[in-house]
Copies of this chain bind each other. A is one copy, B any other.
């Protein structure tokens, strides 16, 4: 019997995702011979401390020398699962220069320096794949760049951060407040000790930048994404949303409009019968609209050792197939356009505003006049409760430019009849 071909791989980092990748590739070792015609073997793992024992990882694979991996001509694929900007960026660029293909799960880096990474990969004729950087195990980059490539894709909208979706689910279903739900998420390991990147929408923003780039064929970086987190969402907001038949979700929204690209992450009221409203706990889902395919949705686990490992291994298999068929670089950077990014001020939404007012005659008329003067049309206004001399108003506007809302709010905040503007949350409006 012929000895099966072997493709040698190095892993940079062996945290949660790296461990998942190692487990999956070890478990599928024999299967791969039949599946793709070669064995895939991790032969070196870069760690900071090569002496430290790691459960399930053979110590002999560990090295603290990146150069040792670069100098091994038999290593054809490098999997970068260290995260962070540096030294990951330098290592990936070096890997290309040493003739190695790279699979990365690093959303921070790709959302920041994607252009340089892809250009370097192309220069050296190497593969650079990154399915795991967005929405964990859910296949989404390959669908955007391949399956739906016949479409003019106009919208990508999704729940792409499991931590915040878990927190909002607990607030909605169990009536928890934000702080308690966050604490629970931390105890269960869904949120990190420093949860900033998740709860402020930064993590979701990076994923939206990457998906927008793949979907619209134009480079969108993290700096282009407007981000707003969920820390200000209150139990009252969620309750009022429910009364109006809506749920509050942290949504990433990317649109390719005739005036440019919109990319943003913020909480949003979405009708409870919309498919994204039923995405619970730490699950992720991405909704894609194309001119030919219409609406599609992709759902699954957006994080975790094995789900994210599954996406990395899918990419490794693709690189291996390219190696076996001598066609590396078959699909490189697909950002061949240069579409301008719209300013957040110019983007249109409906808005939900919760306002505390002093209960005096003419208050409603005064507030309505401010909106009117700023061309904001009110769809609905409800007085929710009055305590002593204060009342709570909920205002829903028709779709209007963000700038007009901001101008209205600036005026309202200066008025003596207004005690506080408690919430300003955008409302999903399919006809926007």
Contacts and interface: CB of A to CB of B under 8 A. Distances in A.
A334 B34 CA distance: 9
Interface stretch (A294-302, A350-358, A387-395): A294-302
Contacts of A148: 139, 310, 314
Given A278-B275, A327-B330, A295 B300 contact: yes
A24 interface: yes
Contact of A292 (B290, B309, B318, B337): B309
Copies in the complex: 2
| Closest 4 pairs (CB-CB, A-B) | A150-B313, A139-B147, A327-B327, A296-B300
Contact of A147 (B150, B290, B314): B314
Contact of A325 (B31, B275, B327): B327
A83 interface: no
Interface string A23-34: 011011001001
Given A137-B293, A137-B296, A298-B298, 16 more contacts: A20-B292, A35-B336, A146-B314, A146-B317, A148-B314, A149-B317, A150-B310, A150-B316, A292-B306, A292-B307, A292-B309, A292-B313, A293-B300, A293-B306, A325-B329, A327-B327
Contacts of A312: 150
Contact of A143 (B20, B31, B143, B316): B143
Which of A292, A294, A299, A331 is the most central at the interface, judged by chain B CB atoms within 10 Å of its CB?
A: A292
Contacts of A82: none
Nearest to A294: B301
Contacts of A326: 326-327
A290 B20 CA distance: 14
Interface residues of A, number: 60
Interface in A54-71: none
A321 interface: yes
User: Chain A interface secondary structure, helix, strand, loop or mixed?
Assistant: mixed
A225 interface: no
Contact of A149 (B149, B313, B325, B334): B313
A149 B314 contact: yes
Given A278-B275, A310-B150, A297 B299 contact: yes
A217 interface: yes
A322 B311 contact: no
Nearest to A136: B293
A247 to B, nearest CB: 14
Interface string A331-356: 10010110000000000000000000
22 contacts: A25-B150, A28-B152, A34-B217, A34-B337, A35-B217, A35-B336, A131-B147, A137-B292, A137-B294, A139-B142, A139-B148, A142-B146, A150-B313, A151-B310, A278-B278, A292-B306, A292-B307, A294-B304, A297-B299, A322-B330, A325-B327, A325-B330
A46 interface: no
